[in-house]
Structure 1
Amino acid sequence: MTAFRSERPSDPDTHVHTLANGVRVLTIVQPHLESACVSVYVRTGSRHESARLNGISHVVEHMAFKGTRTRDCQQINLDAEQLGAEANAHTDKDHTAYHLRGLAQHAPQFIRMLGDIVLESQFPESELERERQVILQEYLEDEDDALSTAFKLFDEACYGRHALAQPVIGKRRNIERFSRDELMGYVQRQYTGANVIVAVCGPVDPQAMAAQAEAVFGAMPAGAPNLIAAPAYLGGVRTKRMSGSSQTHVVLGFPVPTQCDPDMPAAVMAATVFGEGMSSPLLDRVRERLGLVYYAGCSADVSDLAGQFVIEASTTPEHLDALFTEVTTLLQAQAVSIDPVHLERARNQLAVRSVRARERSQRRLEGAAQDLFVFGRVRPSGEWMERIASIDADEVRLQFERMLAAPVSAAITGKVPAGTKERCQHRLASLQSPSA
């Protein structure tokens, strides 16, 4: 007799089984495919790390493929590639994920192979020293990237010393120091049943996938959900000059509702209205009409802990002041009224984005897994679209009004002229004083 509980979300192709130890088995049946994606999501990332351990989730993800109790690194690679499968993994602020994609008939084997990697990795000392050098190269590449640096400084401006502001790549001194025992201890604490989702997408049998997952993951310790307190939003301006850069990179934004807030969809709509696509107010003004930038964009980055309305742009130093002037003017205009044409454009852009995400197996799996972590259920596809369809212009306008009443956060990197921070602070202060 199996020891899992079955649940049926609203979408008929989506199935969730919960094992006795809390591991959830998510299956999305797509009979029109011949391939299958199998992923294991673990609810642990840089936001779950102490300052001393910042970067350890990412190191664990790298090292998980370097040897288990029964397979060395070479055998792990060969086992996947003999089946024609693609192996991959990634680490984010809120989760770590391991993936295999190949023929649907091999999905049960993929569950076993990923289970071996997630549950039985041994982090061999010799492999750790080699991989440490690889990760340090990745760290240096990230440090040299002016826009990536701007985003890290932006997070610090938003959340200060809270773990949510920590970079996924971590700190260099930590990467250089992490020991095998630290990696093993971190996995033992964080990789527990309450924080694991085994996810499968393709032409597969949900009951068979649940049974296979139970055989592999059923003995995993149950543990408790990896939860942390939400940060306070701070605001402020950060700058960093970077030699060798001829451009100035800007990231600025405001707090918006979290993923769990009913107003969150209106914040996403606001970002889409403001800066998605060449016809949006942001791109049309600063790129098409004034030529101040080659690249600019706007997005709403929301999680269960916090939300950010983010504007990013790359310009030249002589255009920086003009860029800030135009962006602040555009933001103030949105807080007064929303053009119905742009509202309809944004609504359709979000609809297409949602449809395309559902058509991409890996993207759909990740979205469903995030739903399970945050809401405890997989939201039906129509729920998001119904909410987007219901948002009116005044809801979006109100989002801009609330944002402009909150502290602004900004980061400027690359070629940063003298006095930039002070001029930026002065210009952004006018957002709270529209008459200035």
Structure 2
Amino acid sequence: MQTTISRLENGLTVASTHMPDAHSVALGVWIKAGARDESEGQNGVAHFLEHMAFKGTRNRDAAHIAREVEDVGGFMNAHTSREETAYYINLLPEHLELGVEILSDILTASTLPKHEIERERGVIIQEIGQSLDTPDDLVFELFNKACFGDHTLGQSILGTQQTVSSFGQQELKGFMDRFYGSNQMIVCAAGLLKHEEFVVLVGERFSGLSISAVPDRSMPVWQGGDSRADRDLEQTHTVFGFSAPGITTAQRYDMLVLANLYGGGMSSRLFQKVREDRGLCYSIFAFAQMMSDTGVFGVYAGTSEETANEMLKVCAAELTDCLSNIQADELLRSKQQLKASVLMRLDSVSATMDSLGRHIALFGKAQNKDQLIRSIEAVSIDSLSILIAKIIAGRPAMAAVGPVSAVMNVTDLSDLFSS
């Protein structure tokens, strides 16, 4: 397995990982702009634009795009996150040229047809409605708001019905023209391919791109809020968390190891103490959400209103205990799980391509498996203790959906970590 990175004359980054035993190719385009980079009043425009990418170009209509990829057994999709937007296609190696052609067409020749905008507007409004009707989706939307308030990191990636209803060609094209430039894009691939041939194909199709703006991101201020939606549900869905280091810091691996040890797999502390020992919930997990300049370390759980406070007390007690009582065997187990995850992803062309694009977008270079393994192995009991002390010294944020009147507030939750 060999990774090679090239840069075209127009500033476009082209990267590929040759996987000689693969039987397919995954290729994609990463744009270093996402929902965080939307202007005021345009919440949801990055996601709307992602939906519109496959809806028509100067050379193909929406049906033609879909058929052309699926006629050769391919699969295409896209996603929008806080700080990136990605478009990708999986297909057989002999159809690599077609994949590059389709991706270049939807990103350099999109016509954003008005009738497709209206149709997709309805689809996205339905998506927003479904999210609002899904408690374990809604609680994370409320939690982001409790963490970051009116900052764009606190807004829904989907947008609101009001903002989505207002977007037209001008707003969509404006976001694309502003950020979809050669300096903001990474075209990457993984699988059975030759880098030199890939670079030639990309150069032929993307040579017309020019430089675009680089997102001017403001640092969010942690709010430590408490956001709730009282709903007539069987369960109370709860999320709490703390301000934490971002993904570009040296502590990112400590974050991952801690999240896994504290609330990752079935052997984690939360699974054992909250679910297995006390039977307080069916679903509980810890997560490390990391952006370029900030992060969140948190916990989600679904439980009854009557047991929610006990569950929160156990969560607080276990995280506090990790300050001084992490055992060598549980640390080793957590690191082994993460190392296995890194190595298992290498068997997938999609996962390899995804990691390649994301690493270059964040760090400006690819990270090989040996570097990743060494970084995970370097995490120690002492480094985790330093991270935990830093995290719980701040005020938490929390959100709850369901029967919530009896659930403790964020001030009471904060007291659990300071007592």
Q: TM-score, normalised by structure 1?
A: 0.93
Letter in structure 2 aligned against 1:24: T
Q: How far did residue 283 of structure 1 move?
A: 0.7
In the other structure, the counterpart of 1:429 is 414
Aligned to 2:133: 144
Q: Which residue of structure 1 aligns with residue 14 of structure 2?
A: 25
Unaligned runs of 5+ in 2: none
Superposed structure 1 runs of 4+ greater than 3 Å apart: none
Say yes or no: does 1:81 pair with 2:66.
no
Say if 2:143 is the partner of 1:158. Answer: no
Contact residue 229 and residue 305 of structure 1 kept, 8 A: no
How many residues align? The count is 419
Of 295, 298, 321 in structure 2, the residue corresponding to residue 307 of structure 1 is: 295
Identity %: 29
1:326 partnered with 2:311: no
**Offset, 1:13:** 0.7
Q: Which amino acid aligns with 2:142?
A: L
Secondary structure of the structure 2 residue equivalent to 1:233: coil
Aligned pair 1:368/2:353, yes or no?
no
* Corresponding position of 1:297: 285
Q: CA deviation at 1:427?
A: 3.0
What do the CA deviations read for 1:35-88 (whole angstroms, capped 9, x no partner)?
A: 111111112211111231111111111111111011111111111122111121
1:19-58 correspondence runs (5 A): 19-58=8-47
Q: 1:238 aligns with which of 220, 227, 243?
A: 227
Structure 1 residue 415: Cα displacement: 2.2
Contact 2:30 2:361 in 1 (8 A): no
Residue 105 of structure 2 is aligned to residue 105 of structure 1: no
Q: In the TM superposition, what is the alpha-carbon distance from 1:285 to its structure 2 partner?
A: 0.6
> One-letter code of the match for 1:43?
K
CA distance in 2, matches of 1:132, 1:433: 47
1:368 Cα deviation from its structure 2 partner: 1.5
Contact 2:43-2:160 at 8 Å conserved across structures: yes
Q: Distance in 2 between matches of 1:125 and 1:425?
A: 46
CA distance in 1, matches of 2:228, 2:65: 44
Q: Determine the C-alpha separation between the residues in 2 that align with 1:391 and 1:379.
A: 17
| The one of 107, 114, 128 aligned to 2:117 | 128
Tell whether the 8 Å contact from 2:22 to 2:349 is kept in structure 1 after alignment: no
Which of 62, 65, 71 pairs up with 2:54? 65
Are the equivalent residues in 1 in contact too, given 2:316–2:417 (CA < 8 A)?
no
Question: 1:123-144: CA deviations, max 9, x gaps?
Answer: 1111111111111111111111
Cα distance in 2 for partners of 1:30, 1:159 equals 41
Q: Which amino acid aligns with 2:90?
A: R
> Among residues 386, 397, 412, which one is paired with 1:398 in the alignment?
386
Q: Distance in 2 between matches of 1:302 and 1:99?
A: 23
**2:214 is equivalent to residue 225 of structure 1:** yes
Query: Match of 2:300, SS?
Result: strand
Specify every segment of 5 or more residues in structure 1 that has no aligned partner in the other structure, as ranges: 1-11
Matching of residue 192 in structure 1 with residue 181 in structure 2? yes
Distance 1:140 1:355 in 2: 38
Shift of 1:149: 1.2
Residues in 2 aligned to 1:358 and 1:34: alpha-carbon distance in whole angstroms: 14
Structure 2 equivalent of residue 6 of structure 1: none
Deviation at 1:119, TM superposition (A): 0.9
Corresponding residue SS for 2:323: helix
Distance 1:227 1:360, change over 3 A: farther
